[in-house]
Amino acid sequence: MKLFNTVSGQKELFHSESKELGLYICGPTVYSDTHLGHAKSYVSFDILKRWLGYHNYKVNHIQNFTDVSDETALESSKSNIDELTFTRKYEKEFLGKMKLLSNLPATKYTRASEFVEQIARETKKLLDKDEAYQTEEGIFLRIKQEEHGKLLGVNLEDSLAEGVSEVDPGPKESPHDTLLWGPPIEGGKTWKFEGLPDGRPGWHLECTLMSSSELNLPIDIHWGGIDLIYPHHETEMILAEKIGLGNYCDFWMHNGLMEDAEGKLSKSRGERITLEEVFKDCPPAALRFYILNHHYREFTPYSPEGLLMACQEGERLGINAVDCMVVEPTNPNDDEEMAILVSKFEAALDDDLDTPKALDVLRELDIIAGDRLKNNGDIAPISGMYSLFQCVLGVFS
């Protein structure tokens, strides 16, 4: 199995002597409804998880909820609801949408709010070691420009669409410095710890501590959207070094984003299309099928017309699937035609989770299934092949 490692910038053979793997994926900031970008990231990750299971790995999947942020404070204040009560609503909404998309649940979900004491303790240590400093806007981690680049792999200034000063703005010594501990925000929860000003945790240290507390290091695979590479994942790695965690993670994977004709569907442009809206016009299974028609590392184009076409094709491919799966499945490798399809299917997914090629195999299967149904052929191995698609791609669930 070859997977694309962001660290090396190429596909690498993935193999572990241990059959137990620790996977971490950055979860959502829970202050609004689940949207298309979430669907892209978590469906893509779900395929990785399912495929590792197919290869007999036991996956310990940890996913966080960022329930302490500027956004959660501001939105809960607008609703006049306690911040941590407010975020539980959106955690529940997110988990419901993931279930509708047929994503397997995490082994464990963690919340940033449950790690605040650890974050405060590590922040104080960094402050005492002069690795961090305090301004009126909070406590910032000192980062030199040359410390970045393990994931970007290029000159920092040349690789960013926005200036580094846009990251954790506020008076700070260097534009590369990132926030460890921020000031109170109206409507948000405030914590008090000895040696620190009253305030709230910053984003990056949250994930470093949540992942390392729940998984053995180095993490086997760390996943996130490509927009998290800088500053979040780069800073996670730097923080792991500075707080003495050692080798944090060797294998990083990132999915492309959803985009429209103008580029990325951007929250800053008010274009976060919620899954609630999408599901009014098409079932969740159709959106999953649409996402799988694009490689996880691609920027996936979105249009209502494209989604409708995927919905129609998914429904058409489902007709023979339903008719065949009423029969008890047998091993598809025991059938000559099916064995060829199994081989193609495995080759596609072993090549960096190439779901578009895997779906081409489904289209071949549909033709064979239709022929056998019409001519009263043996459909038990066909049923077995459909079960494979169900198990690995989460379609026909």
Let me know whether 245 and 357 are in one domain. Answer: no
User: Which residue has better confidence, 238 or 203?
Assistant: 238
Q: Give a yes or no: residue 297 inside a domain.
A: yes
Q: Judge if 21 and 90 occupy the same domain.
A: yes
Residue 222 main-chain phi, psi, to 5 deg: -115, 130
Domain count, the chain: 2
Query: Whose structure tokens read 């064995």?
Result: 339
Question: In this structure, are 283 and 379 located in the same domain?
Answer: yes
Measure Cα distances from 176 to 71, 130, 146, 168, 245 in Å.
22, 16, 10, 9, 22
251-290: burial string, b at 16+ Cβ within 10 Å, e else: bbbbbbbbbeeeebbeeeeebbbbbeebeeebebbbbbbb
77 lies in the same domain as 129:
yes
pTM over 0.85: yes
On whether residue 260 sits in a domain, the answer given is no
pLDDT for residue 314: 92
CA atoms within 13 A on the CB side of 64: 28
- Closest-CA residue to 40 (of 89, 85, 103, 96): 103
Q: Where are the beta strands (DSSP E) in 66-190?
A: 108-111, 132-135, 138-141, 178-182
Note whether 137 and 45 are same-domain residues. Answer: yes
Give the pLDDT of residue 160: 46
Cβ-contact 67, 84 below 8 angstroms = yes
Q: pLDDT (tens digit, 9 = 90+) per residue, 350-385?
A: 999 999 999 999 999 999 999 999 999 999 999 999
pLDDT in tens, 39-62: 999 999 999 999 999 999 999 999
**pLDDT score recorded for residue 256:** 95
Which amino acid belongs to residue 390? Q
Domain assignment present for residue 269? The answer is: no
* CATH for 211: 3.40.50.620
Residues 182, 304 within the same domain = no
Token couple for 352? 């960096």
Whether 270 is in a domain gets the answer no
Q: Is 216 a domain residue?
A: yes
Q: Are residues 242 and 297 in the same domain?
A: no
Structure tokens at 144: 């030199």
If asked whether residues 251 and 280 sit together in one domain, one would say no
Residue 266: pLDDT band (50, 70, 90) is low
Query: pLDDT of 341-355, one tens digit each?
Result: 999 999 999 999 999
Domain span at 303: 275-393
Whether residue 267 lies inside any domain: the answer is no
